[in-house]
Structure 1
């Protein structure tokens, strides 16, 4: 039964992600600097996002800097596909409550696909229209049901799937302006176990089988949010350009009643506390972002690229669900405080020959969770990215590329202290680490010109 339930959850994620992979949506697991990804199956994967808003070499500019569409000849389409593999195994520390068992949760991420589709239409020499379907807000994880942190989280899915109608105008020979409307469809699902006090568990209960008699809580909702992406591209000359991109904040107002299971006598306790039926309001603010990028063609073979960015994660507002003390339940939610992040990237392109172009880059995203510890629902913080890729211009109308990137998140510590012991209905002390976390991306992109 355990294997079957895991298979159902995995199949559900694969079905969602397969749609993303086809370009209708696109998202993946968060890796650093919050939950916004730079990886959506484009050539930027090989550059580790260096030159994000100034590269402007294909239709993915709709997302990175819509003003860059003015540099594209004619009308162009891009399909990006990617797969990622996350290594996020949990190592249980000696401070973890022994009554929680010995389950380490397995690898909550594993394989996950993503991507995006982009189209730029040339209305005139100076006016471009575009549309994209992708997603760079992503989080998905599923732990084994008996893992020691099950009272904090078992499954979590949070995706932001963006539809981006866009416009760009070349105001002068050097200055281009662009804008994209970001219609984001948010999906949120959060599942965890509830610890029933010993006195309310079945008569044949023994501590080693605690997970089998847990109750459960599931929150699930979908909603729409709206924002804009504004871009400016200034070309000093044919080989040097500077890009500015601003992504506005997007509010995703999730609100739904939680679904409970296996409550038994504890259902009366929740009912008396007024926590059984009311909606849970989990308002998410996808943060605003500022990015400055540069591209410089040093000579016919070499070009250098760089980016500096800021994201306002202090406004995110993610809520952690759960019941800290089931002997005296008072709330189903708890605030998690985050801080703003900084992003730095540098990269280069090398022209091997007329059809072949090499990309490589490195990037760093700062911490968005304070201190050296993280929440088990968001086991991400600062990280280094290392990317490399190649593009091949097959003809004037078609090109393709492949890229790979490794995002190293280091060792992430967890130190969650409960206000009540496990035997009395508390979540227990969860102490341990995610050692040497990392995610490997592999991507392919296909570009057509009309």
Structure 2
């Protein structure tokens, strides 16, 4: 049964996609103006990044323009694991948990480099990006192409970090490498636009595994009672002394590397400016049906192998050997695939200029995270552990597939931006964006430690000359969550039927994430 938990854990690591998408939405596009305005940019000009924010705004770009941009960021991820009173009762009195009353922190970033595979540690997250636009002389059409990063997030933890059981190394990213776009200026007041994006989507996760719970607690207590007896007379009947399998034993390491090279989406929008002091804009960004493919590898510890080898050498183990692991494999590896929907997004906003120097932007947004109701993972061959899972949970597993219920919710949010025209060259900006979490409290975890978040933006634009604009933007995002013991069966439940991975069973868990993102754009004509 605990081996089933390992497979469920391996597949469950894929749930990080959804929470990281919520964290990174519009955070790594690299547009300093949007960042500074708290992403309240739908009714405003965002340069060549209008390909993403609202393709209709591309008509603001006249002639031939090129933008070169650089975006970089650091994540500060912290977790605390506290043992409440009577901790260990669910584990038959065993409470010597090295994770209890410990804390975790990482600021080490990780990225996925296409062609290399897997997550690679880097000093900071970074992405050099660029775009180009052309408005033919006398034409109402503007054509553009942009390279941007809708999603670049990753982190790496030390080998002894207590949070390594839900992510030792994680990298998830989506790079749009081609985005042919067109905008049409219907008249002096109205523009419409369409862009098609071709993206590379990748996910790499490595984590250690343990399984505290009632069953491993009982096993650990039985081992303490029986395995200290010299010449144990029960070993012929039931040998459980081949290796430690208590609630706090390191059992395995899981490594996943999945990607899709071509994942298309489309964005459509309009921009209406009836007067100089007011504008209204809206954009719809389509969902993307992705099928991530790649490798999985599960490496088992000596304790895990020894326990099952010892059990098989006894009478009880021999009777049940057809449905229990035999412990002879150091690892299981193969190919896996996951069908994942990148969620649709809608935004509408207004731009108001109450005075010539002051401007107020306000957006409302909706993202369809309910598309993550369940995930279907397929393996390239029949696995013994999935045969067990199909017996215990026939609605969720077959010998080659696993279905994971998620139950995420679609969310509405809003953003506010303020801009001040200091002089003819310099513009100052600031913004605020509260981000409600799409993850219900009973689905929270440390792998994607994202609760409700708040984003703050600052930045400036400088008109270097009549053809050149330099923009800088800074975002600070903070998210905290509290997960009381037993409240989320993605992390700290201890019930006997808690097959879904709970490596911090019965611990109170608190997490915080702070993100610092900086971007610079140089845009000029050519």
Contact 2:62–2:134 (CA under 8 A) maintained in structure 1: no
Partner of 1:15: none
Q: Secondary structure at the match of 2:267?
A: strand
Contact 1:30–1:139 (CA under 8 A) maintained in structure 2: no
Contact 1:288–1:311 (CA under 8 A) maintained in structure 2: yes
Give the direction of change, closer, same or farther, for the CA distance of 1:432–1:83 in structure 2 (3 Å limit): farther
Give the direction of change, closer, same or farther, for the CA distance of 1:433–1:195 in structure 2 (3 Å limit): closer
Contact 1:310–1:341 (CA under 8 A) maintained in structure 2: yes
- Partner Cα distance (1:30, 1:309) in 2: 17
Offset of residue 376 of structure 1: 1.9
Paired residues for 1:90-109 under 5 Å: 90-95=79-84, 98=95, 100-102=97-99, 104-107=103-106
Contact 2:476–2:517 (CA under 8 A) maintained in structure 1: yes
TM-score (norm 1): 0.80
Partner of 1:383: 453
Q: Secondary structure at the match of 1:59?
A: helix
Partner of 1:116: 129
Contact 2:203–2:258 (CA under 8 A) maintained in structure 1: yes
Partner of 1:218: 255
Q: Secondary structure at the match of 1:89?
A: strand
Give the direction of change, closer, same or farther, for the CA distance of 1:447–1:206 in structure 2 (3 Å limit): same
Partner of 1:184: 199
Paired residues for 1:66-85 under 5 Å: 66-85=55-74
Contact 1:76–1:119 (CA under 8 A) maintained in structure 2: yes
Q: Which has the larger radius of gyration?
A: 2
Offset of residue 90 of structure 1: 0.6
- Partner Cα distance (1:91, 1:237) in 2: 53
Give the direction of change, closer, same or farther, for the CA distance of 1:362–1:426 in structure 2 (3 Å limit): closer
Contact 1:128–1:169 (CA under 8 A) maintained in structure 2: yes
Partner of 1:49: 39
Q: Secondary structure at the match of 1:106?
A: strand
1:229 alignment partner, one of 253, 261, 267:
267
- Partner Cα distance (2:326, 2:144) in 1: 52
- Partner Cα distance (1:130, 1:123) in 2: 12
Contact 1:320–1:333 (CA under 8 A) maintained in structure 2: yes
Offset of residue 285 of structure 1: 0.8
Superposed CA deviations along residues 279-308 of structure 1, whole A, max 9, x for unmatched, are 433222111011001112222211111111
Superposed CA deviations along residues 137-180 of structure 1, whole A, max 9, x for unmatched, are 24323233334444443322221111311111112222211111
Partner of 1:413: 483
Give the direction of change, closer, same or farther, for the CA distance of 1:39–1:209 in structure 2 (3 Å limit): closer
Contact 2:196–2:265 (CA under 8 A) maintained in structure 1: yes
- Consecutive unaligned residues of structure 2, counting only runs of 5 or more, are 1-16, 89-94, 110-123, 224-238, 310-320, 378-382, 391-396
Relative to total residues, which structure has the larger helix share, 1 or 2? Answer: 2
Partner of 2:293: 255
- Partner Cα distance (1:418, 1:258) in 2: 27
Partner of 2:208: 193
Partner of 1:157: 171
Contact 1:232–1:244 (CA under 8 A) maintained in structure 2: yes
Contact 1:421–1:428 (CA under 8 A) maintained in structure 2: no
Offset of residue 260 of structure 1: 2.2
**Quick check: 217-226 or 262-271, which moved more?**
262-271
Offset of residue 85 of structure 1: 2.2
Paired residues for 1:429-448 under 5 Å: 429=505, 431-448=507-524
- Partner Cα distance (2:442, 2:277) in 1: 42
Superposed CA deviations along residues 188-221 of structure 1, whole A, max 9, x for unmatched, are 112222448778999686979944xx42221112
Are 1:134 and 2:113 counterparts? no
Partner of 1:37: 26
Partner of 1:397: 467
- Partner Cα distance (1:421, 1:290) in 2: 39
- Consecutive unaligned residues of structure 1, counting only runs of 5 or more, are 1-27
Contact 2:297–2:334 (CA under 8 A) maintained in structure 1: no
1:286 alignment partner, one of 342, 345, 349:
342
Q: Secondary structure at the match of 1:299?
A: coil
Offset of residue 64 of structure 1: 0.6
Q: Secondary structure at the match of 1:358?
A: strand
Superposed CA deviations along residues 305-361 of structure 1, whole A, max 9, x for unmatched, are 11111000010357599x9x99x7666764332111112011111011111000111
- Partner Cα distance (1:398, 1:244) in 2: 27
- Partner Cα distance (1:367, 1:29) in 2: 11
- Partner Cα distance (1:357, 1:334) in 2: 49
- Partner Cα distance (2:57, 2:506) in 1: 48
Contact 1:33–1:383 (CA under 8 A) maintained in structure 2: no
- Partner Cα distance (1:442, 1:113) in 2: 10
Counting matched residue pairs gives: 414
Superposed CA RMSD: 3.7
**Quick check: 430-439 or 242-251, which moved more?**
430-439
